[in-house]
Structure 1
Amino acid sequence: MARMPLTDRRTQLTEAAIRAMTRDGVSRTTTRSIAAEAGVSLSVFHYCFDSKQALLESVMETITGHYITLVKAAIQPRETLRETVRAGFQAYWDHVAARPGEHMLTYELTQYALRQPGFGHLARRQYELYCETYGELLEELRRITPFELSVPVSVLARYLAAMTDGVTLNFLAVGDEKAASEILDMIADHVAGLAGES
């Protein structure tokens, strides 16, 4: 087995964990199955991750990173702020539609963390990460398309995290893409309104 820098090996194992957990579920995925998925020995896994909590946190951050990269690329100035915001939501939604299992996994990870003694902080961290991410995206949006909000960025970030979380879960349960698109349109309208764009 070729030597690989620790950060690269952690990335390899995290991506393998995402594939295994998406396919088999969190509770049925073992460190042995993740190592097998990655094509490494169990000792390599334990060298990279000293606890299941560390692995799960890496999985949560990596899944979020998968779609944040797409959203950031989509947030380019358009004719209106509303169009720019909606393009960001569309990039997120394209990821949901392309990888529903990965998004389903995020809900399973939340439930798992809340039910396991000593893991509750991971569920809190997951939702803090969502809010932090929206805060960063809003600041990036304000940088490229200056505007003032009628509410604090932190409040809007929590609102957007809650709304997209709900829309995503509803889509995973019901499967109605048209309804999800209409809700995302309404959220984009709301954000533009909070920035004084009518």
Structure 2
Amino acid sequence: MARMPSAERRRQLTEAAIRAMTRDGVARTTTRSIAAEAGVSLSVFHYCFDSKQALIESVIATITDHYVTVVKDAIRPKATLRVTIRAGFQAYWDHVTANPGEHMLTYELTQWALRQPGFEQLARRQYELYSDTYGELIEELRHSMKFELRVPVPVLARYLATMTDGLTLHFLALGDDAAGADILDMIADHVVGLALPCD
């Protein structure tokens, strides 16, 4: 087995865990099955992750990073704020519809963590990460497109995290990706309505 830096090995194991958990479910995925998925020994897994909690934190952060990367690309300033915001939502939505299993896994991880004594904070941290990520995206966009907001950034960030979380679950349950477009249009319009041009 080729040696690789521990950060890269952790990434490899995290991606293997995402594949295994998406395919088999969180409860049925073991450290042994993750190591096998990654093509490494169990000792390598335990060298990289000292607990299941550390692995799950890494899985949640990595899944979030998968779609944040495409959203950041999409919200480069365009002709108008509305077009820019809507492009960001579309990038997120395209990721959801192309990777439903990965997004379903996020809900499974939340439920699993809430039911496991001592792991509840993982679910809390997961949802804090969603709001924090929206906050960062809003701030980047606010500075690049020069606008202020009628509401505090953390409030808007939690609102957007809640709306997209609900919309994602709606799609996973009903499979109607077309219904998302109208809702994302409405959310984009609402955000633009909260924006004030800088003097």
TM-score (norm 2): 0.98
Instruction: Compute the RMSD of aligned alpha carbons.
Output: 0.8
Map of 1:85-124 to 2, 5 A cutoff? 85-124=85-124
Task: Report the number of matched residues.
Answer: 197
CA-to-aligned-CA distance 1:45-72 (integer Å, 9 cap, x gap): 0000000000000000000000000000
Cα distance in 2 between the residues matched to 1:82 and 1:196: 13
Which residue does 1:139 correspond to in 2? 139
Structure 1 residue 158 displacement after superposition:
0.2
CA-to-aligned-CA distance 1:98-129 (integer Å, 9 cap, x gap): 10000000000000000000000000000000
Instruction: Classify the secondary structure of the residue corresponding to 2:147.
Output: coil
Identity %: 78
Runs of 5+ consecutive residues of structure 1 not aligned to the other structure: none
Which residue does 1:191 correspond to in 2? 191
CA-to-aligned-CA distance 1:79-111 (integer Å, 9 cap, x gap): 211110000001101110110000000000000
Structure 1 residue 189 displacement after superposition:
0.4
Instruction: Classify the secondary structure of the residue corresponding to 1:148.
Output: strand
Map of 1:53-64 to 2, 5 A cutoff? 53-64=53-64
| Structure 1 letter corresponding to 2:18 | I
Which residue does 1:2 correspond to in 2? 2
Runs of 5+ consecutive residues of structure 2 not aligned to the other structure: none
Structure 1 residue 196 displacement after superposition:
4.1
Which residue does 1:168 correspond to in 2? 168
| Structure 2 letter corresponding to 1:155 | V
TM-score (norm 1): 0.98
Runs of 4+ in 1 over 2 A off after TM superposition: none
